[in-house]
């Protein structure tokens, strides 16, 4: 009975110890003092405890700067077609937002062929045009189907997805209100500090966060989930705006960014550094993408 009692009360500790303590665990200094940490996922870690050693907060701005230095070092070793290409790539390494400035603006017509018209109808339009920025190729490569990718020298994968603005079906929009995007991105069904069921299996959720964001020129939200499964550490930022036009029709714009890596090769600190290095250009691309010349399907 005594052994059962010990086993019962040690199980939660055992389960939680399988996962990273970067966001909510203890940090130890060389003197062996245990320090309690509280993390703001968008800023830095606040650390407190009984110690005679000065404790420094973890500065994600410095992590982002280190990413910039690594990118610059990598690019200096590469061969370029001309000095202009080299100069642009090095500028982008120091300031990733310049990948937007040096990128290309592109337009896709969703009425030029039967296949494209069919796709437009799936999003609630008879026809439309989609306008977006393709960042400079030194930073992101398009892999197709609305996905772009960057893989760092330390094997952190950054990917983002932009989805075509869509009309919300009338049946789905019956109970919508102006706070719908906020409700969805609160991710209430997922609980922090425990295992959750996802589309691809179980995952342990460390943190959730919710902030304002611009998506396709509409004011919406960014919902952040920081999690891990058996194989990878991941930070997922989901962007969503939902609005109603003057005719009472509802529309939504959505995008997603993920920062991930193999648990044997990267840490959450690596992911946070990459996120703070790249999120400005990703969010610029997401905010500027939009549709125009659209004709919504009536009675959708």
pTM for the structure as a whole: 0.83
Let me know if residue 65 belongs to a domain: no
Share of the chain above pLDDT 90, in %: 60
101 plus 44 within the same structural domain: no
Of the listed ranges 81-85, 146-150, 225-229, 242-246, the least confidently predicted one is: 81-85
Q: What is the pLDDT of residue 25?
A: 52
pLDDT in tens, 186-218: 999 999 999 999 988 999 999 999 999 999 999
**Mean confidence (pLDDT) of the chain:** 84
Let me know if residue 16 belongs to a domain: yes
Let me know if residue 45 belongs to a domain: yes
212 plus 167 within the same structural domain: yes
89 plus 37 within the same structural domain: no
pLDDT in tens, 133-142: 999 999 999 9
185 plus 232 within the same structural domain: yes
SS (H, E, C) the chain: CHHHHHHHHHHHHHHHHCCCCCCCCEEECCCCCEEEEEECCCCEEEEECCCCCCCCCEEHHHHHHHHHHHHHHHHHCCCCCCHHHHHHHHHHHHCCCHHHHCCEEEEEECCCCHHHHHHHHHCCEEEEEEEEEECCCCCCEEEECCEEEEECCCCCEEEEEECCCEECCCCHHHHCCCCHHHHHCCCCCCCCCEEEEECCEEEEEEEEEEEEEEECCEEEEEEEEEEECCCEEEEEEEEEEEEECCCCCEEEEEEEEEEEEECCCCCHHHHHHHHHHHHHHHHHHHHHCEEEEEEECCCC
Given a cut of 70, is residue 298 above it in pLDDT?
Answer: yes
Let me know if residue 227 belongs to a domain: yes
137 plus 243 within the same structural domain: yes
Residue 135 half-sphere exposure toward CB, CA atoms < 13 A: 34
53 plus 101 within the same structural domain: no
Let me know if residue 279 belongs to a domain: yes
88 plus 223 within the same structural domain: yes
Structure confidence at residue 219 as a pLDDT band (50, 70, 90)? very high
Q: What is the pLDDT of residue 30?
A: 38
Let me know if residue 79 belongs to a domain: no
198 plus 279 within the same structural domain: yes
Residue 100 structural domain: 84-296
32 plus 175 within the same structural domain: no
Of the listed ranges 175-184, 202-211, 238-247, 282-291, the least confidently predicted one is: 175-184
Q: What is the pLDDT of residue 5?
A: 41
Q: What is the pLDDT of residue 58?
A: 63
Let me know if residue 144 belongs to a domain: yes
Given a cut of 60, is residue 45 above it in pLDDT?
Answer: no
How many domains are contained in the chain?
2
Map tokens 């930022």 to a residue.
237
Given a cut of 70, is residue 14 above it in pLDDT?
Answer: no
Highest mean pLDDT among 47-56, 69-78, 81-90: 81-90
Q: What is the pLDDT of residue 109?
A: 92
């Amino acid at each position: 009975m005594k052994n059962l009692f010990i086993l019962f009360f040690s199980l939660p500790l055992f389960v939680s110890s399988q996962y990273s303590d970067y966001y909510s665990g203890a940090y130890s200094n060389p003197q062996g003092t245990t320090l309690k940490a509280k993390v703001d996922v968008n800023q830095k870690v606040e650390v407190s405890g009984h110690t005679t050693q000065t404790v420094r907060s973890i500065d994600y701005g410095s992590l982002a700067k280190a990413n910039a230095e690594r990118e610059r070092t990598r690019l200096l070793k590469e061969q370029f077609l001309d000095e202009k290409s080299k100069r642009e790539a090095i500028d982008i390494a120091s300031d990733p937002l310049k990948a937007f400035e040096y990128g290309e603006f592109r337009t896709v017509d969703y009425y030029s062929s039967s296949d494209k018209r069919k796709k437009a109808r799936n999003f609630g339009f008879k026809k439309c045009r989609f306008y977006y920025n393709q960042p400079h190729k030194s930073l992101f490569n398009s892999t197709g189907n609305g996905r772009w990718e960057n893989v760092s020298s330390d094997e952190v994968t950054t990917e983002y997805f932009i989805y075509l603005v869509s009309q919300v079906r009338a049946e789905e929009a019956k109970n919508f209100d102006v706070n719908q995007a906020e409700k969805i991105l609160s991710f209430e069904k997922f609980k922090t500090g425990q295992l959750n069921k996802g589309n691809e299996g179980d995952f342990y959720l460390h943190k959730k966060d919710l902030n304002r964001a611009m998506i396709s020129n509409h004011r919406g939200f960014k919902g952040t989930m920081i999690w891990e499964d058996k194989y990878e550490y991941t930070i997922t930022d989901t962007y969503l705006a939902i609005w109603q036009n003057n005719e009472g029709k509802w529309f939504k714009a959505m995008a997603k960014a993920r920062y991930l890596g193999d648990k044997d090769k990267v840490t959450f600190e690596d992911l946070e550094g990459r996120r703070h290095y790249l999120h400005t250009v990703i969010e610029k691309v997401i905010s500027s993408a939009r549709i125009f010349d659209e004709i919504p399907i009536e009675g959708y």
